[in-house]
Amino acid sequence: MATVAQPRPRTRPLVAAQRRPALRHLGPNWYAAVMGTAIIANAGAGLPFHIPGLPLIWALSLALLVLLLVARAGHWLHHRDQARAHLLDPAVAPFYGCLSMAFLAVGIGSLSVGADLIGESAAVPLAWVLYALGTATGLVAAVAVPYLMVVRHDVAPGSASPVWLLPVVAPMVSATLGPLLIPHLPAGQAREAMLLGSYAMFGMSLLATLVILPVVFSRLIHRGALPLFLTPTLFLVLGPLGQSTTAVNNLADVAGGSIEATYAHGMTAFAVLYGVPVMGFALMWLALAVAMAVRAARRGMGFAMTWWAFTFPVGTCVTGAEGLARHTGLHAFEWLAVALYALLAAAWLVAGFHTVRGLVNGKLLAAPVKK
């Protein structure tokens, strides 16, 4: 008697549910690793002595950016429900600002050290592409994330975090890269438009930071220290401080050939008059953040991707100090940049080591443990 073939069970939904499981919990916060790696090259290029290997570190940041863009595209393709959940989570959505800053940080490195590796004919077009992508995504994030926080997110009272700064700082990084591209524009209207457009992004980012920062400090005063794993995010406050100082100094570098001399002289003076007090506040906040990090470490703070907050924000203070050294001639700013760079390099090595180890053992891409 012939046997009747039984229909195979339909497994497609199960297979679809299990597809690319390693990508399910890959959030936008991973772009911080690109930023932290790129700033090693960018900040090292402005030190008063030569550091070998910086173009290779920049190339690593570019490779990490491409890898993460592909992985995040896979995340949206295969885990759209989780991606939407990230957008609707007030603790995760601000990290979309990191996408913009990753583009821009690698773009800055393309001009500062990348040309030594791939040649200026390739480095300049690459910087333009990264500038366009980073500026577009940054401006969208600077509006879209606060909009979601107002109309869609369920933000608990007293939950303010330095992470809230991430989407609004992104335009400040555009204001830093823009001046580096001005020499590659024709003289006249194009240069002046880029100069003043960069100042506009500097202003929008600075004023947004001045709105958010008091809320964050008020939360610390009234609610106490952040949870241990969030303590490194205190270093994020250094980002808008160091980046804005870097931006005004970069803008002053190119103002002379881009705008009327009267305004150019004023921009050069503003770079120092703004940058020195802000750098002073940054050093005060750095001391506070280090003290809080030591306290958290003594209470058992383990590694998390938030440790990458120890890198890029500190790096912006390095580039800010380098800019002030150029415009004041003070060796003290050069030595400040060197000391901060040593701290940055140590933080990068530690964060990088733990990230690689977490990827190898699978802990960093595992589902978060619900408490």
**Over the stretch 316-332, which tens digit does the pLDDT of each residue have?**
999 999 999 999 999 99
**pTM for the whole thing?**
0.92
Spatial distance between the Cα atoms of 285 and 288, rounded to a whole number of angstroms: 5
Q: How many angstroms separate the CA atoms of 284 and 326, rounded?
A: 22
In this prediction, residue 371 carries a pLDDT of 47
Neighbouring CB atoms inside 10 A of 302's CB total 10
Report the pLDDT value the prediction gives residue 148, as an integer from 0 to 100. 95
Query: Cβ neighbours of residue 4 under 8 Å, at least 6 residues apart?
Result: none
Asked if pLDDT for residue 14 goes beyond 70, the answer is no
Name 156's Cβ contacts closer than 8 Å, sequence gap at least 6.
none
CA distance 26 to 71: 8
CB 329 within 8 A of CB 39: no
Residue 303 has pLDDT above 50, yes or no: yes
- Cα torsion angle, 333, 335, 336, 342, sign: positive
Read off the pLDDT of residues 186-236 as tens digits, 9 standing for 90 and up: 999 999 999 999 999 999 999 999 999 999 999 999 999 999 999 999 999
- 93-106 residue pLDDT tens: 999 999 999 999 99
Residue 62 has pLDDT above 90, yes or no: yes
State the average pLDDT over residues 306-314.
97
Strands (E), 292-341: none
Inter-helix orientation angle 189-223/238-255, to 10°: 160
Q: Are 24 and 74 in contact (CB under 8 A)?
A: no
Average pLDDT across the chain, whole number: 92
20 φ/ψ sector (left φ>0, alpha ψ -120 to 50, else beta): left
Which residues, 6+ apart, have CB-to-CB distance to 246 below 8 Å? 176, 316, 319, 320, 322, 323
Q: Residue type for 240, please? A: P
What pLDDT sits at residue 154? 87
Q: 331-355, pLDDT tens digit by residue?
A: 999 999 999 999 999 999 999 999 9
The residue among 134 and 20 whose pLDDT is bigger is 134
Alpha helices in 184-260 (DSSP H): 189-223, 238-255
The Cα–Cα gap between 253 and 166 comes to 26
How far out from the chain centre does Cα 176 lie? 12
